[in-house]
Amino acid sequence: MNKEMTTNDKHNRRINWLHDLPFQTILIAFGIVTFFPLVLVVITSLKNNTQFYQSFWLPTFPLQFNNYEVAFSRIWRYIFNSIIYSGSAIILVGALSSIAGYVFARFKFPFKSFIFLGFITLVMVPSVLTLAPRFIMVRDLGLLNTPFALIIAWVSSGLVLSTWLMRSYFESLPQELFDAARVDGAADRQVFFYVSLPLARPMIATVAMTTLIATWNDLIWPLVTITDRDTMPLAQGLMQFSSSFETEWGPLFAGYVISSIPLLLVFVVAMRQFISGLTSGAVKA
């Protein structure tokens, strides 16, 4: 009997495998086309120009690892800046939106819906409408060419969706939990820090990831507010970088590879949150 089961299992696996075969074939073809440009960039990043013009498609030897040294010395500053800027934005958005979301979700106070409307209506306002006047505002505040121009603007646009997400999350938590904490003698502040925040960890991760992707990829806002090279974030720096290596393909592509590493690391470490951070961007497009 036992033996019969295992042969049956094997048989099933064979059938499943055969069933999957046509779909797998198409997906593999799709996968190859997807990764092909990336692989070519990596291959080219290890060539010097002579090798590049000799052989376009295949890797050539010796591999030019010093391309990476050259590229890194020019691009590390932008990556460093971006990590600082996006990091600050993430911390601020996370802190402010979880507090505001909590206040909106769990308390009743005069003018609450009016104030909440002040947050939520902004979901309808596209960034393209506010771009020019916001530049004027930042200029008049004297923030041009400072990291604050980026961080503060990113935080405020990130807050709109994040507060909404946090509020919905805190609303979905059962009231009994908070009652229990209060019965145990916890003060408001303690309930927030020791009960609510730990529970909201998945949502905070989503908010952090949404903010990371949005700020990391923003190009337009830095273009209008930052002109000083040492202050530029990665997206803008890459434009500078690519025009300074116009026809030196090796170092150029080495720089491209290097600048993809930070998000790659985040992707590997926190895949689930990365993906959920992507989909919650659907609400504010």
Partner 1 sequence: MTTRITRNSSDLHAISATQKGLMQRIWEAKWLYIALVLPLTLLIIFEWIPAISALYNSMFIWNGGKVHIFVGLENYENLLTDRTFRVALQNLVFFVFFRVIMQTLFPFFAAEMIVNLRSQRWTNWWKIIFVFPMVVPMILNFLIWRFIYNPQVGLLNQTLELIGMGDLARAWLADPNSAMWALSFVRFPWLPTLQFLIILGGLQSIPKEIHESSQIDGAGFWRRMFYIDIPMTRRQITLAMILTMLFMTQRFDLFLVMTDGGPGYSTMVPALQLFQSAFNFLEFGYASAIGVVLFVAMLGLTVLNLKVSAGAVD
Residues 206-225 that bind partner 1 (CB under 8 A): 213, 216-217, 219-220, 223-224
SS3 per residue for 203-217: HHHHHHHHHHHHHHH
174 cis-preceded (ω within 30 degrees of 0): no
Question: Could you say whether residue 58 binds partner 1 (CB under 8 A)?
Answer: no
Sign of CA dihedral 6, 7, 8, 14: positive
* Least separation in angstroms between CB 1 and partner 1: 25
Q: Which residues from 73-112 bind partner 1, rule CB under 8 A?
A: 96-97, 99-100, 103, 106-110
Where does this chain touch partner 1 (CB under 8 A) — which range of 3-11, 61-69, 121-129, 197-205? Answer: 121-129
| From candidates 115, 186, 205, 270, binder to partner 1 by CB under 8 A | 115
* Least separation in angstroms between CB 163 and partner 1: 7
Please answer whether residues 41 and 260 qualify as being in contact, where contact means their C-beta atoms are separated by less than 8 angstroms: no
Size of the residue set binding partner 1 (CB under 8 A): 93
CB atoms within 10 A of CB 39: 11
Q: Which residues from 132-161 bind partner 1, rule CB under 8 A?
A: 132-137, 139, 152-153, 155-157, 159-160
| From candidates 11, 19, 201, 229, binder to partner 1 by CB under 8 A | 19
Say which amino acid occupies 237: G
Where does this chain touch partner 1 (CB under 8 A) — which range of 16-24, 67-75, 83-91, 196-204? Answer: 16-24
CA–CA gap between residue 283 and residue 241 (Å, rounded): 34
CA distances from 125 to 111, 155, 167, 285 (A): 22, 16, 20, 10
Question: Could you say whether residue 126 binds partner 1 (CB under 8 A)?
Answer: yes
Residue 125: strand, helix, or coil: coil
Of 118 and 142, the one with the shorter C-beta distance to partner 1 is 118
Q: Which residues from 236-275 bind partner 1, rule CB under 8 A?
A: 238-239, 242, 249, 256, 259-260, 263-264, 266-267, 271, 274-275
Question: Could you say whether residue 65 binds partner 1 (CB under 8 A)?
Answer: no
Residue 142: strand, helix, or coil: coil
Please answer whether residues 255 and 188 qualify as being in contact, where contact means their C-beta atoms are separated by less than 8 angstroms: no
| From candidates 10, 14, 16, 69, binder to partner 1 by CB under 8 A | 16
CA–CA gap between residue 97 and residue 103 (Å, rounded): 10
* Least separation in angstroms between CB 51 and partner 1: 13
Of 3 and 108, the one with the shorter C-beta distance to partner 1 is 108
CA–CA gap between residue 207 and residue 279 (Å, rounded): 11
Question: Could you say whether residue 282 binds partner 1 (CB under 8 A)?
Answer: yes
CA–CA gap between residue 245 and residue 253 (Å, rounded): 9
